[in-house]
Structure 1
């Protein structure tokens, strides 16, 4: 009996071709559970524009935002991931939008900056560092421990020719009632040429950001059979923070007249 009644109701609704029109566009009531189903996909045009642009190009992102932004637009800058999302239909507290129309910029590190990040802090052989310096010579400047510029060719040769020198010093003291002995071993790294004390690597960290000088302090580890070299990125955390601030300031300068920006990420509430 129940099944028969449901069948009669379904047939009656289907025959009536019930349609509902609202802000979401035309909807049709169909017999299956009497649910509303959007007819948008059957129309010639969508009910409203919505989409998601993703790009790593700062210039293209700025152009798109300027073309689309209005008073309901708002942007959010994530300095940790060097990204920005601008939502075009966020709305406000009185008239909230769907927040499903947005553009996302995710900057990608330049090839040179990526190479720097891969190398800094790693344990390198003489060959590894010398070859890296040769590959990126256009971005490098070598500095001696006394802060003088060192020709890069000479710096590379010095890295290839590092030798480990060891020396020992022993002292013995004899007294009437006591005796003491001490030994001191010294191990140092030396080269036929002057070893650089640091390297300056110059490149833009991300496309659209200005060129920066990154200082890498060179240290030779002498506890192994062969010399091991590490390049320590001087002030790494501070430099990364400055780059993130540059990113935010650059965005603000480019699109501040089109939309407001907030530091952080945004998630639409349920």
Structure 2
């Protein structure tokens, strides 16, 4: 007598249930019917089979404390200076004994409000009112200087921005000889103010929590090509300062973590 496919499947399932076949895995698993499906039994145990999870924070101090408190041997950290982030993997393992790399701490520094304001304003043309309002909003962290680096009070700086006058003048030269005639014309546009217009604003800001206070120089330029004068702030030495901030991030992070994890520049994808 031949057995049907359904009968063979029933006999197989019955045998699996009777023997409760356990698999030789680190995480407790057992084979059950439904096509010999492997089922994870961790959820039914008193504890998880291993510690895992991701700790995420914007605080450099809390990140450092978490990593040092864990004190896991062979922990590896990877720093992305462009993104101001760091990931520490506590169970990365080695080539001979690779880990699951699912126990980690992730730090992503969040720019302070002042640093975000500097990045947003740099290189953007603004009206007189918008510029004066911006200076008023950040007056506690700003100072103004003139052409000879003399200090200018912010009250006078705001008044100077609000009272800019654009003057245009034309000049033409005519030269005539027996064989030729030439003519040149030049238009001169000058922006002036009733008050002394500052040449630069100095913005004092901590770019990210845990890093040192920095002074960012914002050079003021007046744009006279439109119907109304506009102002623009240029971050002097922007790329250099950004690089200095990134280097400081790595240095401070290393001081916070110490020997709790080996840090490297770059990213690691545990696929």
Give unpaired runs (5+ residues) of structure 2: none
SS at 2:170 equivalent: strand
Of 80, 84, 91, 1:82 maps to 84
Q: TM-score, normalized by length of structure 2?
A: 0.96
Deviation at 1:21, TM superposition (A): 4.8
Is the 2:79–2:250 Cα contact (8 Å) retained in structure 1? yes
TM superposition shift of 1:254: 1.2
The aligned residue for residue 11 of structure 1 is: 14
Q: 2:76 aligned with 1:59, yes or no?
A: no
Specify which of 145, 148, 171 is matched with residue 147 of structure 2. 145
CA distance in 2, matches of 1:145, 1:5: 94
Identify the residue that residue 26 of structure 2 maps to in structure 1: 23
Gaps of 5+ in 1: none
**Partner SS state of residue 19, structure 1:** coil
- 1:189 deviates by 0.7
Equivalent residues in 2 for 1:19-168, closer than 5 Å:
19-24=22-27, 26-168=28-170
TM-score (norm 1): 0.96
SS in 1 for 2:39: strand
Does the 8 Å contact 2:201/2:220 carry over to 1? Answer: yes
Partners of 1:126 and 1:151 in 2: CA distance = 18
Runs in 1 of length 4+ with deviation above 4 angstroms?
none
SS of residue matched to 2:35: helix
Alignment of 1:240-251 (within 5 A): 240-251=242-253
1:222 match? 224
1:264 CA displacement: 0.5
Superposition CA RMSD, Å: 1.1
